[in-house]
């Protein structure tokens, strides 16, 4: 390229850097010098047609300014402008003053071949009472945007350096204050290791910290067992009753125990005060460790607010949680509050730097907590879910059905028999109602009496459909009596 072309390209690159839009094209600028401009004009036009035809550029898509595109492709501005003009003349593109150049609305792409259907892309049920997620419409978009602007605008440059495996100091400090105030957790910032999720936290602890035999609740979250077992440890079921896990039944070979004491999932009961004391005694007597997943801890509707078990034994309890229920499973932020002796071992087992979590998201969450926006969001959503819970309870009461597990959390349990559970699940599938069988949560080796029924997640349905969804569920239960 000659000096004049270099000068033109460098000047154009300055414009592209500030105003351009990335556009990937199957286009090569090199070739014989003779006739290069005409050939590039023709090839660029053909590349743009192909992008429109195969759907990479859809109707109404805005193209980068021709100056930016010329700079990106290393061609003269006039060549790019001429290619745009050719496509405008042919009707592929339209250009309006102040609106830029766009793909014409009448242009349609060749429809792609349908992809194979998979669980990752499966359409959710029409009446979606599946568990494990909050209401997507309650994500605090405005608060998140405000916190992002403030966090990024005030963060020092060092905040964007490679982060140590412990995670952002700003979020660990904010979490220490929040968890102490909201959940009664006794922790300092240097006891916290940030992770992307609870499942990740369990993998991090297994087997080096938890040992090879981990006691778990006989009916519990499948991802708990999967995270532990895929790391080579065995899970041993502990029976449940109306007071939570039966601590006296923890097998002697167990080196640690995993509990959901505030709101046992899925039954919804809380671990009784006597058993809270008993499990702390067990850990100290056996040199074992208790892992507390504070599942649904923020969403307690009864007046008797149940605090974290960790406060009874911060030296023997590893406390874990995440924002998957309070914000969204898509915000990948979780945490471990560890006894001091375990912090460095757990943190540095991740490597020399944070390998997975988004430090930027951690800074944003820290700002939301420090500004009070996170607390306000929790209060708003708690009232939202309480109203949903009350509406569901009232609708079921009208047809003579009582529910359990409703003092907190985002699901209710409808107990029934094994035969009726099977019939209800079959009918729910036929009617496109998403519910989960209570027996699904059972540990394969559980020895206590099996539990059957439906687990109904009332957080998931959209606001516009909730009344209709509840009516469909009550109709199902009325019909399959």
Q: What is the mean pLDDT of residues 153-181?
A: 93
Residue 439: DSSP 8-state? G
Residue-averaged pLDDT of the chain:
87
Q: Cα(319)–Cα(178) distance, rounded to whole angstroms? A: 14
Helix H, strand E, coil C: the string for 305-349 is CCCCHHHHCCCCEEEEEECCCCCCCCCCCEEEECCHHHHHHHHHC
Q: Cα(66)–Cα(36) distance, rounded to whole angstroms? A: 18
Class at the top of the CATH hierarchy for domain 140-373 = alpha beta
| Structure confidence by residue, pLDDT tens digits, 422-460 | 999 999 999 999 999 999 999 999 989 889 999 999 999
Please provide the DSSP assignment of 155-190 as one string. --GGGGSPPPTT--HHHHHHHHHHHHHHH-----GG
| pLDDT score, position 112 | 41
| pLDDT score, position 91 | 76
Place of tokens 């350096």: 161
Q: What is the per-residue burial (b if ≥16 Cβ within 10 Å, else e) of 86-114?
A: bbeeeebbbeeeeeebbbbeebeeeeeee
| Structure confidence by residue, pLDDT tens digits, 96-106 | 766 788 888 75
* Domain 18-103, CATH: 1.10.10.10
Does the CA dihedral 153-157-158-164 come out positive or negative? positive
Q: How confident is the model at residue 31 (pLDDT cuts 50, 70, 90)?
A: low
pLDDT of 4 > 60? The answer is: no
Specify the 3-state DSSP secondary structure of 356.
coil
Q: Is the peptide bond before 413 cis (omega within 30 degrees of 0)?
A: no
Q: Cα(390)–Cα(375) distance, rounded to whole angstroms? A: 23
pLDDT of 34 > 60? The answer is: no
What distances in angstroms separate CA 402 from CA 334, 392, 425, 427, 453, one per listed residue?
Answer: 34, 10, 18, 20, 12
Alpha carbon dihedral 412, 417, 418, 423, in 10-degree steps, equals -80
- Do 443 and 374 contact (CB within 8 A), yes or no? no
Every domain of the chain and the residues it spans = 18-103, 140-373, 376-480
Q: Which residue has the higher pLDDT, 317 or 5?
A: 317
What distances in angstroms separate CA 277 from CA 255, 273, 283, 310, 311, one per listed residue?
Answer: 18, 6, 10, 11, 11
pTM: 0.77
What is the second-level CATH architecture of the domain 376-480?
Alpha-Beta Complex (3.90)
């Amino acid at each position: 390229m000659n000096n004049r072309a270099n000068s033109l390209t460098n000047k154009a690159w300055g414009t592209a850097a500030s105003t351009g839009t990335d556009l990937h094209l199957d286009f090569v600028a090199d070739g014989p010098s003779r006739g290069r401009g005409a050939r590039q004009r023709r090839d660029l036009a053909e590349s743009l047609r192909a992008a429109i035809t195969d759907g990479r550029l859809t109707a109404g898509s805005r193209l980068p300014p021709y100056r930016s595109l010329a700079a990106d492709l290393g061609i003269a501005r006039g060549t790019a402008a001429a290619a745009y003009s050719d496509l405008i003349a042919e009707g592929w593109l339209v250009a309006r003053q102040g609106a830029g150049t766009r793909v014409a609305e009448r242009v349609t792409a060749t429809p792609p071949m349908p992809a194979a259907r998979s669980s990752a892309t499966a359409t959710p049920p029409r009446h979606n009472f599946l568990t494990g997620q909050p209401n997507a419409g309650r994500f605090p978009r405005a608060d998140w945007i405000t916190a992002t602007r403030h966090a990024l605008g005030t963060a020092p440059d060092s905040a964007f350096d490679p982060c140590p495996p412990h995670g952002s100091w700003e979020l660990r400090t904010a979490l220490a204050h929040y968890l102490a105030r909201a959940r009664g957790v006794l922790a300092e910032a240097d006891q916290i290791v940030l992770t992307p999720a609870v499942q990740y936290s369990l993998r991090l602890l297994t087997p080096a910290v938890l040992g090879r035999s981990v006691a778990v609740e006989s009916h519990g979250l499948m991802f708990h067992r999967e995270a532990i077992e895929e790391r080579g440890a065995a899970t041993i079921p502990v029976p449940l009753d109306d007071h939570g896990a039966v601590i006296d039944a923890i097998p002697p070979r167990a080196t640690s125990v995993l509990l959901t004491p505030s709101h046992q999932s899925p039954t919804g009961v809380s671990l009784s005060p006597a058993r809270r004391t008993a499990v702390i005694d067990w850990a100290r007597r056996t040199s074992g460790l208790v892992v507390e997943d504070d599942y649904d801890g923020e969403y307690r509707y009864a007046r008797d607010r149940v605090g974290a078990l960790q406060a009874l034994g911060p030296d023997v309890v590893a406390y874990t949680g995440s924002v998957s229920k309070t914000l969204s499973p898509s915000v990948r932020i979780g945490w471990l509050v560890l006894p001091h002796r375990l912090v460095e071992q757990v943190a540095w087992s991740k490597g020399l730097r944070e390998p997975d979590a988004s430090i930027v998201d951690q800074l944003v969450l820290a700002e939301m907590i420090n500004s009070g926006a996170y607390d306000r969001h929790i209060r708003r959503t708690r009232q939202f879910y309480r109203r949903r819970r009350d509406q569901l309870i009232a609708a079921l009461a009208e047809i003579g059905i009582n529910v359990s597990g409703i003092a907190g959390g985002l699901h209710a349990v409808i107990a029934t028999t094994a035969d009726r559970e099977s019939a209800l699940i079959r009918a729910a599938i036929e009617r496109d109602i998403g519910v989960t069988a209570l027996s699904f949560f059972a540990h394969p080796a559980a020895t206590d009496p099996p539990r059957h029924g439906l687990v109904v997640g009332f957080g998931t349905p959209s606001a516009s459909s909730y009344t209709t969804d509840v009516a469909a569920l009550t109709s199902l239960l009325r019909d399959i009596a």
